[in-house]
Amino acid sequence: MWSSNLLLQVIVIPIIVSIIILLTRGRLGKAGAYIACASLTYTSLILVSLYIQLWSSLTSIYEEYSWSQFLRLKLGLLADGLSLPIALIMNLLCTVCAFYSIPYITHRIEILYGGENDKLLNLYFAIYLFFAVGLTGVALSTDLITMYLFLELVLIPSYFMIDLYGYHDRHRIAMMYFIWNHLGAGLFLAGIVLAYFSNGGSFNIFDLAKVQGGSAFWVCFFILLGWLIKMAIFGFHVWLPHAHGEHPTSIAAIIATIVGLGNYAIVRLLVNNMFNAFQLFGLPLMIWSLVTMVYGAFLTLAQDDIKRLYACSTISQNAYSILGIASCTTLGVVGGIFYFISHMIGKCILFSVAGIVVYLSEVRDMRKISGLAKLAPSTAILAILGSMILSAIPPLSGFQAEWAMFIGIFEKSVEIGYLVAFTGIFATFLTLVYTFWPIKRVFFGQPSFESNSVKKEPPMMVIPLFILSAISILFGVYPDFILRLLTYSSI
């Protein structure tokens, strides 16, 4: 009986825990944080078991609950080869970042509000749990409105996170972040509504396939535009460096995930269901993402602020996935999603590393930090591992994703010329520059600190990240673990 609504549990349990934490109003203290972590661990374990089940049997799991019959809304949760890996990884990231948050946010609250404040700590975790709900929900939902709901469910907590626990100028930036994202979500909603009228009144994702003719173009256009704003593609990217730079670092990784969520959505909605209409956008999107890639890379190179650096790199990294997906080839799409997954892991590690650096040194300007590797060896290793994921160095997953993706892009290039493919692949070189150069600046060189003036790296911050790296290595060494699912449910 309990196993018949596993997916619902994944959605509901964090909400319940969050409400409990909220209602106790800070009386739980640190225990609240651990309860939150425990609930997330539980949901992750559920997803892991489902993942293994799906991997061995290749049969999707579907649960449906009614919501509003008038609007024909259903809470459908589908775990198939595309959604489950995404959901699993996002849930894992949330879990990892939850553990990571405990020392980080305690420290952050201390700086911001003076003294350890159990209320704020518990508020943090109560809000935090909604990330897990929202992200998993977006991945699993089979209903466009439900998807939108979960999407906004992610947006609200992140607003509060920036506003309450962020860095410099956090109020303005929280608002900026919210408005940009809300606008993107609104355009997505416009696409949804348009689709509703073009496919005979259904919000089901798979009924998008019924949208035909000219309206298909517009549905595709609005959905794409909405998500591209959220994905910070060139031109709409200006909010991202700010938002990511000023986040509390414990959730910056999650924000990076939110940014990348568009990859999943585009594949789920457009590639899988509206392939013909999406194809029209293929080439412009490829070129656009190329511009974004190169632009983002140079932008990243220009950063001196360690958090902003990784923020800017998200722009560029996301564009890779878009490039792969826009190629409209099987491998391009599969690789794009795979790349998105591995980028999530990598970005989580890197942002957390930035967080540790800031935690240890209280400095964000890379010009003022150097030689940290001696004092924080684990962090340095993590930084290198994260950079390896991003710059596609095996045996981490980034490499496997990248070649698979670029095969797709090259296949597309047979038709449209190789300029796009070559520019794209050579832009990955810039990734290497902007990931390893900061490592050199921050971790190598003559130490800028006295060894006793810097705190020790808290194991709670480091160990979860190593677990993430291990997952990435697992995917890198045996990519079939994820490719099998992705290929089974791709176009």
357-396: contacts with another protein (CB under 8 A): 371, 373-374, 384, 388, 391, 393-395
183-242 binders of another protein (CB under 8 A): 183, 186-187, 189-190, 193-194, 196-197, 201, 235, 238-239, 241-242
User: What's the min distance (Å) between Cβ of 281 and another protein?
Assistant: 19
311-330 binders of another protein (CB under 8 A): 330
| Cα dihedral: 223, 225, 226, 231 (round 10) | 120
- With respect to another protein, which residue has the nearer C-beta, 371 or 458? 371
| Secondary structure (DSSP) of 37-86 | HHHHHHHHHHHHHHHHHHHHH---EEEEEE--TTTT-EEEEEE-TTHHHH
- With respect to another protein, which residue has the nearer C-beta, 160 or 340? 160
- With respect to another protein, which residue has the nearer C-beta, 93 or 130? 130
**Per-residue CA distances from 137 to 194, 296, 488 (Å):** 22, 29, 21
The binder of another protein chosen from 31, 52, 58, 171 (CB under 8 A): 171
130-159 binders of another protein (CB under 8 A): 145, 148-149, 152-153, 155-156, 159
User: What's the min distance (Å) between Cβ of 170 and another protein?
Assistant: 9
251-280 binders of another protein (CB under 8 A): none
| Secondary structure (DSSP) of 200-228 | TS--BGGGGGG--HHHHHHHHHHHHHHHH
**Closest residue by Cα to residue 58 from 26, 82, 77, 39:** 82
- Tokens at 106, concatenated: 């305690």
50-79 binders of another protein (CB under 8 A): 67-72
- With respect to another protein, which residue has the nearer C-beta, 7 or 384? 384
| 305 DSSP β-pair partners | 365
Q: Under DSSP, is residue 141 helix (H, G, I), strand (E, B) or coil?
A: strand
Residues 280, 335: contact at Cβ < 8 Å? no
Binding flag, residue 479, another protein (CB under 8 A): yes
- With respect to another protein, which residue has the nearer C-beta, 28 or 37? 28
- With respect to another protein, which residue has the nearer C-beta, 209 or 432? 432
Binding flag, residue 444, another protein (CB under 8 A): yes
- With respect to another protein, which residue has the nearer C-beta, 95 or 247? 247
Residue type, 350: L
Quickly list H helices, 114-212.
Answer: 118-140, 144-165, 170-198
CA angle 379–159–42, rounded 5-degree value: 60
393-432 binders of another protein (CB under 8 A): 393-395, 399-400, 402-404, 406-407, 410-411, 413-414, 418, 421-422, 425-426, 428-429, 432
The binder of another protein chosen from 100, 131, 160, 288 (CB under 8 A): 160
